[in-house]
Homo-oligomer: A and B are copies of this chain.
């Protein structure tokens, strides 16, 4: 097992990109990442592509090969593999790329994520996203994805001190950060009233508690640490890579409000890096819904169960706080092109650790974490990066 570094990153602007196709989006992100790394195409040994549901969104499977082809790499016949775990597809793509480099099988590997969601209508995309949960025993009876997280929120708010206003603070904070991120889907700050007056989607979650439907792609280039300086003056080390699973259906979990897969992946990541929560300077967590960020902060060990709402309201997780959470704007404000999200999280942390995050820079950030969830917590990927 060799040490691995991120040597280049690229990310398209996120949003409703009607003019861009699936392959256009990837080419844009991939080109940026290679340019950032100063890597020539022919040096790439393999690619991993995180994508949830191109089969449903654009009727196209086999997107690993598609993307290697449109990246101009077909004649090199590089290995290109699609990895899928719903909303955690990007995180798993990064992990597989990490394993490929760490093992010595490959030197230069691209980890990418893409989702083109706006080629179908809202009803169809809600239905495609429900494929992240248990189609036979959740989707069949009318459970939507926001509905499942809403049931987590109901359970959580019944057992722990979390007010509706504190939950809204998560969205307010993430929009504040998103307004400082040039690639974010939403560039407007919002207030608690914006959230509380938005329409109910699944009680108690309102429209502004939910991440949007987004098109986007992101890519990063990995290399063995010992070769990273050939390409960049600012390599970012991968200190830990961890993955965990849990029951596909929310109703089968040990505890509705604790994502045990987050707990497991978090512990494994800290153990691998030899670090503890106090060592983390910033974290990108999977805030597909506001309640998800609350659970993530706790389940990763940054505070005790039931405390995250208060800490959020106190500004601890804000840009200037002790533990900035979702400086990118998170899934909520930066947008959530499902398969791309896990890679975008890595891009954000790398930008922060390089000191290139502009108006949302966390001063002196040296260690960052990413947390990417599939479904309601059936898959979780956690990575720790450091300089």
A binding-site residues for B, Cβ under 8 Å? 1, 21, 46, 52-53, 55-56, 58-66, 68-69, 73-75, 77-86, 92, 96, 99-100, 102-105, 127-128, 130-136, 139, 243-249, 252, 254, 260-261, 264-265, 374-375, 378-379
Contact partner of A99 among B68, B73, B84, B100, CB < 8 A? B100
Assembled-state Cα–Cα distance A84/B67 (Å): 13
Among candidates B58, B74, B81, B104, residue contacting A1 with C-beta atoms closer than 8 Å: B104
Flag if B77 contacts A260 (CB, 8 Å): yes
| Seed contacts A55-B56, A65-B379; 4 additional CB < 8 Å A-B pairs | A1-B103, A62-B379, A64-B379, A82-B85
- Listed by A's residue number, 11 A-B pairs whose Cβ atoms lie within 8 Å are A1-B105, A46-B243, A55-B55, A56-B61, A61-B131, A62-B374, A65-B379, A69-B378, A74-B245, A81-B243, A83-B83
The 8 closest A-B pairs by CB, nearest first: A103-B103, A65-B378, A79-B243, A77-B264, A77-B244, A61-B131, A62-B86, A55-B55
Closest chain B residue to A101 by CB distance?
A: B103
Q: Is the CB of B82 within 8 A of A245?
A: no
* Interface SS of A by simple majority: mixed
Task: Report the separation of the CA atoms of residues A112 and B266 in the bound assembly, to the nearest whole angstrom.
Answer: 26
- Whole-angstrom distance from the CB of A85 to the nearest CB of chain B? 6
Contacting residue for A64 out of B77, B84, B252, B260, CB 8 A? B84
Do the beta carbons of A375 and B55 come within 8 Å of each other? Answer: no
Within the complex, what minimum Cβ distance (angstroms) separates A279 from chain B?
Answer: 23
Assess whether A62 is in contact with B375, with CB atoms less than 8 Å apart: yes
Contacts of A252 on B, CB cut-off 8 Å?
69, 74
